[in-house]
Structure 1
Amino acid sequence: MSEERMDVAGLAGELRVALGQLMRRLREQAEGSDLTKSQTSVLLRLERDGAATATALARAEGMRPQSMAKIIYALEEEGLVSGSPDPKDGRKTLLSLTEAAREQFRTGRRAREDWLAKVIEAGLSDEEIRHLAATTELLRRLAQSP
């Protein structure tokens, strides 16, 4: 393996660790969420992709329909998801986010972004902030790679 490749491999490892640490810190900023990872994943999918049936959600999340039913029940009990008849097939129920869920997303995102902005402003020089801005675009490109 060439020295250049070893540097890229090392950089990849360091980047993975640093991004993981940052993501953990950002998650800490979301106050009081008692949701499981699976519940959060379903909410994020509904936010991103829009209304869906429980079957479609189970397939998209790679889980059994029975497991998805438990997640949906818990989210409905929390008032975060509601169902309505599918206009294409009245036998099916389309699940979507409630306004309470949307507000929880907005509030959580604001808290995380406020924390991150304060940390950036307090901990980085103007030059470092410019480097971070340029790096953000590179990270976005990496995230969109196949």
Structure 2
Amino acid sequence: MVDEQDSRTSAVAADVRMVLGQLVRRLRQQTEDSGLTKSQIATLVLLERDGPMTATELARAQGIRPQSMAANVSALEAAGAITRSQDPDDGRKTLLAMSDSAREHYRAGELIRQDWLTHAMTATLTPEEIEQVAAAIDLFGRLARF
């Protein structure tokens, strides 16, 4: 019986990975290509979510080498997506923040994806199915925090 349950759980895990991957790709398709790498986008997402950080903090948060983050920072700065300022608590440090134009672009993309997903759910799911999705959000959140 345990083997059947493990097999079922493994099959569900594979399905979840596949379907969520498809949904993420569809959401990404809804906005124009920014020309940024996934690592650069991840850097901007961190800055939007957590606020200004040093390059060292950003590298640690993404699990990449400081040299790789330096390349990301240079590219993002050249694109006008980030700004630099002196750390008010430690003048030796430089804080990186998302620029106002990048923040506007990011938020516009978020709204486009939100509108698309709302429309897709309304067009393809019944109200009862939408409630099932709502109930599953907590479960996916718990998995994400594991």
AA aligned opposite 1:66: Q
CA distance in 2, matches of 1:132, 1:100: 34
The 3-state SS of whatever aligns with 1:91 is: coil
- 1:141 deviates by 2.2
Residues 17-96 of structure 1: matches in 2 within 5 Å?
A: 17-96=18-97
Q: What is the aligned-residue RMSD (CA, Å)? A: 1.5
Q: Which residue of 2 aligns with 1:133?
A: 134
The 3-state SS of whatever aligns with 1:122 is: helix
CA distance in 2, matches of 1:124, 1:110: 21
User: Which sections of structure 1, spanning at least 5 residues, go unmatched?
Assistant: none
The more displaced of 38-47 and 135-144 is 135-144
CA distance in 2, matches of 1:55, 1:33: 25
CA distance in 2, matches of 1:116, 1:60: 28
- TM-score norm. by structure 1 comes to 0.91
CA distance in 2, matches of 1:64, 1:11: 35
Pair 1:118–1:55, CA change in 2 (3 A): same
AA aligned opposite 1:108: G
CA distance in 2, matches of 1:88, 1:137: 38
Residues 91-102 of structure 1: matches in 2 within 5 Å?
A: 91-102=92-103
CA distance in 2, matches of 1:95, 1:61: 15
Q: Which residue of 1 aligns with 2:108?
A: 107
- 1:28 deviates by 0.8
- 1:16 deviates by 0.8
The 3-state SS of whatever aligns with 2:26 is: helix
- TM-score norm. by structure 2 comes to 0.91
Percent identical residues: 50
Aligned residue pairs total 145
Q: Which residue of 2 aligns with 1:121?
A: 122
The 3-state SS of whatever aligns with 1:90 is: coil
User: Which sections of structure 2, spanning at least 5 residues, go unmatched?
Assistant: none
1:81-124: CA deviation from partner (whole Å, max 9, x where unpaired): 00011122222211111111211121011111111111111111
The 3-state SS of whatever aligns with 1:141 is: helix
